[in-house]
């Protein structure tokens, strides 16, 4: 990996790491205030936001993991971990990596 590409990965990893931390704080805040909310419409919206943030948080943590080990991850590891829940048929997922 060239120095330039390494710097880009490193910069992006730091950005994603900050976003993961921000989302973790947001998730904590929403979980803390949810039991105090009486309005069902507000509770519904907050639960939807919370579920979305948790999904996004898991995805970003995976992206961060990939960025951290970018030099050593194999194409099979990348595609295996990210396409398992892909709605495309398996035959459409076969991408030549070399």
| φ, ψ for residue 87, nearest 5 deg | -75, -10
* pTM for the full predicted model: 0.63
- Indicate the range of 11-15, 30-34, 39-43, 89-93 predicted with least confidence: 89-93
Q: What percent of the chain has pLDDT over 70?
A: 68
Residue 98 placed within a domain? no
Domain enclosing residue 18, as ranges: 3-93
Residue 19 placed within a domain? yes
pLDDT at 89: 57
Q: What contacts 91, CB < 8 A, 6 or more positions away?
A: none
Query: What total number of domains does the chain contain?
Result: 1
Tokens of 43: 């509770």
């Amino acid at each position: 990996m060239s120095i330039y590409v390494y710097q880009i990965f490193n910069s992006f990893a730091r950005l994603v790491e900050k976003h993961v931390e921000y989302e973790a704080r947001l998730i904590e805040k929403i979980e803390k205030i949810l039991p105090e909310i009486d309005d069902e419409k507000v509770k519904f919206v907050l639960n939807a936001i919370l579920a979305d943030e948790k999904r996004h948080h898991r995805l970003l943590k995976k992206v961060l993991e990939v960025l951290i080990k970018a030099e050593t991850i194999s194409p099979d590891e990348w595609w295996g971990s990210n396409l398992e829940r892909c709605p495309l048929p398996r035959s459409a997922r076969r991408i030549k990596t070399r």
